[in-house]
Every structure is written in structure tokens, then in C-alpha cells.
Structure 1
Amino acid sequence: MNRRPPLKLLPVVLGLCSTQAGAAGFQLLEQNASGLGNAYAGSAALGENASTVFYNPAAMTLLAPRAVSGGLAAIRPSFKFSDDGSSAGALAGSGDGGDAGNWGYVPNGYLSWQLQPDLWIGLGLGAPFGLRTDYQRPWLGSAHSDYFEIKTLNINPSIAWKINDFVSLGAGLNWQRFEAEYKRAAGILSPVLANTELTLKLDDDSWGWNAGALFTLSPQTRVGLSYRSRIGYDLSGDIKADGPSAALNAAASSDAKARLMLPDTWILSLVHDFDARWTLLADVSRTGWGSIQRIDIKRDSGPLAGSTAQTLATDFRDAWRVALGVNYRYAEDLTLKFGTAWDQTPVRGASERLVSLPDNNRLWLSAGVQWKPNPDSAVDFGVAHLFVNDARIDNDQSSGQGVAAKGRIKGDYEDDAWVLGVQYSMNF
């Protein structure tokens, strides 16, 4: 259902969330910058600042009585397609679409407050999912996708309970807003279809939950376990056609709806202090991308009401991520951070890969620095380069669905990404 958020500032915040996927699929791990230097290793056990509200609310019990944190991540992916035998009908020979990646920005903000010696509450604001691919059009794959964007906004009130010196528990609710915009050529069977642009806009808001536990095995060693639930959406919006034929524009324009189930995520983390200077961080996580097998976009009005305008046959699989990091406390006020991670794509193979999400497995190499101008504040800077495996695509939609056939896109993607982050944290 299409419920508009009551807060007037939400459209402004969503406008800032011009997002590009940093992690595999369209997940955004970049919910702080303090973890970026470690490739987000140890995220559910570190409890370094108030951003633990997102990664594991139980770790709020490690924080000062009041803590705030806010930052911004800038993500610059690159998606460059090289044709190798595509058959796109009337659009054949129209080009490779240039670089479909561009800069995207992910803001975040958090607050943690100790109410009693064993009880904390927190609030988080972030964007856990996002994606944008934008091709120079027209191109060979224009009937598949010219432009695709996903934005989310997540508001996450949380609570944590310190049971004793060894065990803490935490939980939270998540109100999440989802918006999607998708543009493509209507088809390839005629010049009229090829020159008619279909624009789909869908949105909804929904609720989910998260929970976590923190185990302090010794003064030097902590283990964290956290879970974020699936969130289901009944998306609604419209399809608008814009082209040379008024009759086609009228027939192809309608209200639209779709059902989407965003995945859940498990994280198991370890943090171990070897001594006063060296800290080891490790992560294993699993994201349940198998919840997205296909997305049927249905027409909900007009002469074609009840028909399927398009099916996005993702056929996603669940995906794993493994990360390892280390911190070196160079001085009382300066910590150096390093990390690496292997991130598995949910895309099964070339036939299931979409031009709107030309994703593949990736290797993270990260570095960062934390500077403490005083004992109660910290400034973090982080940078990561994501080496993404070249992605083979052979997506054949020649038989047509919805308005018309879309052709076969066959070739290779050369992908990579840079992530930059900055964050300020304070205790008071």
C-alpha cells in the first residue's frame, strides 16, 4: 500500500540518498565511516560509536552515557559494457551505453542514551539499500533499461540491556521507505516502440525489526551476533509512456503495482585486542537475497489492467560475505585502520544478470584513520576500492513480454568501485 510518510523532512532526506550499491546486490553496508577502513569487519562486536545502533544495538552497552555520530559515504561505481553479439533489433548498433555508474551519497546519523546503569536506547537514520545505473541512451540495451534507481530511508529506534558483564542484548524496530524509478524504451519491434520511453515509479513504506547479542568473553575479546529482518513492500505507482504515438502513449500509461521482499541479514563478528596497540576484527555475514526471485510489475488501470507490464527475473541466491580487519593505535589520538573482504554476488550467472544490476563478486581493500581531537570526540576518514570481477551477461528477452520484445543483450561488463567516507562522533 502507498502510505506517505508523515514527516515533512523525509523527501529532503531521501533526496540526499542518491545511492549507488557498495556491497553486492544493492545492499549498502556504508552506514558509518568508522568501519569503512576495516571493510566493515567486526561490525557487530566493535561498539565504537553510536552507529552500532544499525550493526548491533546490543553493543550500545559499550558506549558512554550519551553518544552521537553522523557522517556521509560517497560511492563511485563503474559499469562499462562491451558488446559481444547482442541482437537488439531496431536499436542494434546504437552503442554500449557508456559508463552506467556515477557518484552516489549515503548519509547517516545516530544517537545512543543510557537511561539506567543497565539500559540504553538509541535512534538510527540511514539508507541500507540503494542502486543507480544510468546509461547514455539510446544504446543496445535501451529496451532492457536506460535508467534504474532505488532509494531507501530507514529510521531505527533501538534498545539495549546489559544483563551482566558478559552478556548484552539489543533489539530495534525499522520503519523503512522504498522508492524506485525505472526508464526504458518500450520495445524493439518498430521505430515507434524504440522511440517511446516508459517510466515506472513505485514506492511504499513498511516495518521490520533487528536484534543482536554481545558476548564479552574476556577484557580483550568480544563476539557479536546480529540479525536484520526481511521487509516486505506492496509497491504502487504508475507507468507513463512518452513517444511519437499519442495512441501508444495512452494505451501504455497506467497505474502499476508490484510486490517486493527485501532480504534479511545475519552477522557474526569478532573483536580481539592483542595489546594496547593492535586489534583484530573479523566478520562473517549472510544476506538472504533468495527472497527476490522475480518482480512482476502489474498494470492496475487502463485498457491493459491486470496484465504484467514487465517481469524482472532476478532469480537471486543467498550470498555470503567474509571480512578481516586490523587497527593500529599509532598514538593516543591517532588510530590507523586496514581491512579486506570478499563479497559474493546474489546473481547466479550470465542469463540472470540484468543490465540494471550488472553485479558480480568483489574484493574489498580498505584503509582509514581515526583522529581524536579530545577524549570525547573522534573524526574518521575511510577509503575502499572494490575490485569487481568482470561480469558476463547473456540476457535474452527476444520473445517479448509486456508491450514488446526487448532483444538479447550479450557481452561483458568491466566493473569496479571507490568508496569514500567521513564521520564525526561525540560523547557527552
Structure 2
Amino acid sequence: MSRFSSPLMLGILLSGYQLTGHAAGFALSEQSGSGMGNAYAGAAAVAEDASTIYFNPAGMTYIEGHQLVGALHTIRTSGDFNNKGSTVAGGEGGDFGGWAFLPNFYYKQDLTEQVKFGIGMGTPFGLKTEYDKNWLGRFQAVKSELKTININPSLAWKVNEQWSLGFGISAMWAEAELTSAANLGPAGVTTVKNKGDDWGFGYNLGAIYQVTPATRLGVAYRSKVEQHLKGDVRSPSTVTSASPTQTLNTDITADLTLPETFSFSTFSQLNDRWDLLTDITWTRWSQFKELTIRRDNGSNSVVGSTVEHWNNTLRYSAGLNYRYTDTLKLRTGIAYDDEAIDNEHRTARIPGNDRIWLSLGATWQYSPATKLDIGYTHLFIKDARINDDQRPTRGLLSGTYEGSADILSLQFAHNF
């Protein structure tokens, strides 16, 4: 049963892997259209619009009046597998990337001169990958899709001219679907579909210190989010066992801890034309230590338990702004993003590697109350080697992955 059931949680955790997820592990950095042009450098300190609710809620004290922000990120990922010694017959899977569209919404208002309220909605994890159905790694993965929605109400307090503090609560919904082939022995091969969802809750904290009128520092922390996932395993096959605890179709549950992050950012206005932005973000991926899935058909027995080997990661970024005119600001940025998994433990569901972001963007102040942002990023992803023979029944998957991603972001911000 373990080879039928365990993909549910693996799909939830891993379907947003590096060739489609754009930060370490299976996270998505696309939480702001204005920040895209700087590769999210300075995100916890820049406080340029209401998207600061996600990156550092303390930044709301730098935004005047009521503001509504909407952004849309169009993402095109490409990924190819090159076979080098796999033992299962089949093709190489084709381009398992695709298109995705991720929205963000933010609203901020003043409660008093010192206290601000805001709420944000975005997609912090997810995206979709799909191999050809008959590829040589079909017993490891065929389709993986993860959808998340994070709702993040927040408060900010301007303590004095130097200090601002912020706090928010996160309510995160996740839904995952995963399909793969399953070898039933004499009964043949069938397709297994796994699906599940859950709500989890966490919080985020932030602080900004205004060092000088031209320079500020920001720190931000997002807590872990614990998910208690419930789902099912379903297959068109009618193959069952004499034991009701070993039927192919069954409900399963599992516990999952999404990692905490800590960011340190700087924003400096060098002169009346140039701004410098930097950021370092640490993610505690080592929280993901073990995956235990339990059958939920009355037996409550363990379906499978897998020890993971994820590492904590660091993401480094730097960016520049240039005020070309009073109404036009140009942006650029670069980032280096560590992979959470080393070469020895890479699987078909996580074939990504370290990546470099190169970003460009612009802000147009259309009117005193309205501005538009556009940002573009290309991700260079290091080729990834895989030699997965952890489960002999699936065969050896051996080869290399090549991948890249392009992201175009548009954002509208309006004060009223």
C-alpha cells in the first residue's frame, strides 16, 4: 500500500518543485509586482506599497491613506529530463513545465495616525508540472499540482520616528492532486490519483528602523504553518485485497510542517536618483524531517514513513532603482537562491537546483493616486543530477534535468 498512498503527501509537499516553484524547496516568491523588478531585494525594508503586508507588515506605516493593490504574475517554466541509464522503458517525459497565473491582492487603511490595518491574499506555495503518461519515470510521478491561498490580516504601529512594528496572522488553505502509475504485479499497471486539502494557521512579525532619513533596515519573520492533511487515494482499477485495510482506494491523513523564514533587508536612497536595496532570507527547511502517512479506513495503521534530508537555505539579493523622471522609476535586481535538497536525495518530484534571478522592472506614476508596475525575471537553474533507486519496485531513474523559468508581473496600486 505504501507505494499507492505516500504520493499524496509527497505531491502536496513537492509539486511546486524548483523548476516551477521559484524559491527554495517548494515556495513561491511572487508576492508583489513592484518587488519583481528588484528580484525582491530589500523586500522587508522598502515599504513601497501595500504588498509590504506579506514581506513586513511594519512597512504599512510608510504608506499614506487607504491603498488597494492588485498584481498578476504570468509564469512560464520549462524542464527536460535527459536519460542516462534508467532501467524502466519509456520516453524522457517531454517538457514538464507549463504556464501558471498567480494573483496577489492587498488592502491597507489608517486606523489612527500611529496604527494601520491591512489584509493580503496570495499564493505562497504551488504550481503544476506534468510529464508524458508513459515516460520512464511514470512510477515516480506523472502529474503534480498544488494550489494554495494565504489570507493575511495585519496591524502596524509607528512607535516613533525611528521604529515601526508589525504583526499578522496567516490562514493558509492548500489543495493538492497527484497522479502516477502503480505496478500491481500480475494485475498489471494502473493510474493512481491522490487528492487532499487542509487549512493551517501561522503568524508573521516585522520591524523597521529608520537609521537616517535616507536609510532604513527591516527584519521580518514568518512562522511555521502546521497542516493536518486529509485526502484520498483513488484508481480506476478494481483490484482489491481480501483485507479491507489493503484496498487500493482509501482515505489517508498526514501531518506536515511548512517552514519558518527570517529576512534582513536594507533600503538606502543614495541620492535624488538612485536607491540601493539588499536582502538575505533564511528558510528552515530542515523542519521537514519526516513524512508519515496513515490509512484512515478504520485501521489507523501507518501506510509509510519516509525520513527526509532537507537543508536550511539562504537567498541573497541586491537591487537598484533609478528615478528617470518624476513619474518613471526603473528597476533591476539579481538574486542567488540555494536549493533545499542535495544531489544524493533528489527525486523526480524535486529535480531543481540552485538558481540565479536576473530582474528588470519599471514603475509609472500614472496620476497622484495611481501607479502601475511591470517586472520581468529570468531564472537560470543549474543542471540537476538524479540517481533515484530508493524503491526497487519503481526501477532506477538516472539522468540529468535542465530547466529555466520566465516571470512577467503586472501590478496596479491606487490610493483613495
Under a length normalisation based on structure 1, what TM-score does the superposition of the two structures give?
A: 0.89
Question: How far 1:295 moved relative to its partner?
Answer: 2.2
1:74 paired with 2:79, answer no
Q: 1:225 and 2:219 equivalent?
A: yes
Aligned to 2:301: 306
Provide, for residues 149-195 of structure 1, a one-character-per-residue CA deviation record: whole Å limited to 9, x for no partner: 221100000000000000000000011101111111113x74744x3
The aligned length equals 395
Of residues 382, 393, 396 in structure 1, which corresponds to 2:389?
396
How far has the Cα of 1:296 moved from its partner?
A: 2.6
* Cα deviation, residue 24, structure 1: 2.3
Is 1:278 the counterpart of 2:274 in the alignment? Answer: yes
Find the aligned partners of 2:84 and 2:337 in 1 and give their Cα distance. 27
Q: Give CA deviations for 1:127-170 in whole Å, capped at 9, x if unaligned.
A: 11113221011111111111112211000000000000000000
1:324 maps onto 2:318 in alignment: yes
1:407 is matched with which residue? 395
Distance of 1:397 and 1:334 partners within structure 2: 54
In the alignment, the residues of structure 2 paired with residue 191 and residue 98 of structure 1 have an alpha-carbon distance, to the nearest angstrom, of 29
Of the three residues 130, 146, 152, the one matched with 1:150 is: 146
The aligned amino acid for 2:281 is S
Q: Tell me what 2:48 maps to.
A: 48
Change (3 A) 1:182 1:311: farther
SS of residue paired to 2:33: coil
Quote the residue 1:136 is aligned against: 132
CA displacement at 1:106 relative to structure 2 = 1.1
Q: Counterparts of 1:25-424 in structure 2 under 5 Å?
A: 25-87=25-87, 92-187=88-183, 190=185, 192-193=187-188, 195-243=189-237, 245-247=238-240, 251-301=247-297, 306-308=301-303, 310=304, 314-349=308-343, 351-399=344-392, 405-424=393-412
Amino acid at match of 1:376: A
TM-score (norm 2): 0.91
Q: Quote how far apart the aligned CAs of 1:397 are.
A: 2.8
State the Cα distance separating 1:233 from its structure 2 match.
0.7
- Per-residue CA shift, 1:319-355, capped at 9, x if unaligned? 1000000000001111110000000010122x31121
| Separation in structure 1 between the aligned mates of residue 292 and residue 98 of structure 2, nearest angstrom | 28
Is residue 425 of structure 1 aligned with residue 413 of structure 2?
yes
* DSSP 3-state at the match of 1:35: helix
Deviation per residue, 1:62-108 (Å, 9 max, x gap): 00121111111112222211111112xxxx22111111111111110
CA distance in 2, matches of 1:29, 1:43: 11
How far 1:313 moved relative to its partner?
5.2
Judging changes above 3 Å, is the alpha-carbon distance between structure 1 residues 414 and 314 closer, same or farther for their aligned structure 2 residues?
A: farther
Tell me which amino acid in the other structure corresponds to 1:333.
T
Question: Separation in 2 of the partners of 1:267 and 1:196?
Answer: 45
Quote how far apart the aligned CAs of 1:246 are.
3.8
Contact 1:108 1:126 (C-alpha < 8 Å) held by counterparts: yes
> What is the CA–CA distance in structure 1 between the aligned matches of 2:167 and 2:46, rounded to whole Å?
17
Q: Equivalents in 2 of 1:347, 1:191: separation in Å? A: 36
* Alignment partners' CA distance in 2, 1:353 and 1:292: 15
Counterparts of 1:121 and 1:145, CA distance in 2 = 43
SS at match of 1:186: strand
C-alpha distance 191-272 of structure 1, shift in aligned 2 (>3 A): farther
Alpha-carbon shift at residue 200 of structure 1 (Å): 1.0
Say if 2:187 and 2:239, in contact at 8 Å, map to a contact too. Answer: no
After the TM superposition, which of the residue ranges 267-276 and 245-254 deviates more from structure 2?
245-254
> Do 1:185 and 1:198's aligned partners in 2 also have CA atoms closer than 8 Å?
yes
Contact kept? 1:208, 1:231, Cα under 8 Å: yes
Q: Which amino acid aligns with 1:327?
A: N
SS of corresponding position for 1:368: strand
Residue matched to 1:14: none
Q: Which AA in structure 2 matches 1:106?
A: L
Alpha carbon RMSD of aligned pairs, Å?
1.8
Contact 2:292–2:302 under 8 Å retained in 1: no
Gaps of 5+ in 1: 1-18, 400-404
Give 3-state SS (helix, strand or coil) of 1:70's partner.
Answer: strand
Q: Using the TM superposition, give the Cα deviation of residue 305 of structure 1 relative to its aligned residue in structure 2, in angstroms.
A: 5.5
Give the Cα separation in 2 of the matches to 1:159 and 1:294: 35
Runs of 4+ in 1 over 6 A off after TM superposition: none
Offset of residue 297 of structure 1:
2.8
Amino acid at match of 2:71: G
Task: Provide closer, same or farther for how the CA distance between residues 313 and 200 of structure 1 changes in structure 2, counting only shifts above 3 A.
Answer: farther
Question: Counterparts of 1:148 and 1:22 in 2: how far apart (Å)?
Answer: 16
Mapped to 1, the partners of 2:180 and 2:306 lie a distance apart of 13
Give the AA of the match of 2:22. Answer: G
Residue by residue over 1:293-334, the C-alpha shift from the partner in whole angstroms, topping out at 9 and shown as x without a partner, is 3323332117x75241x5565421111000000000001111
Alpha-carbon distance in 1 for matches of 2:387, 2:20: 23
Code of the residue aligned with 1:338 in structure 2: it is T
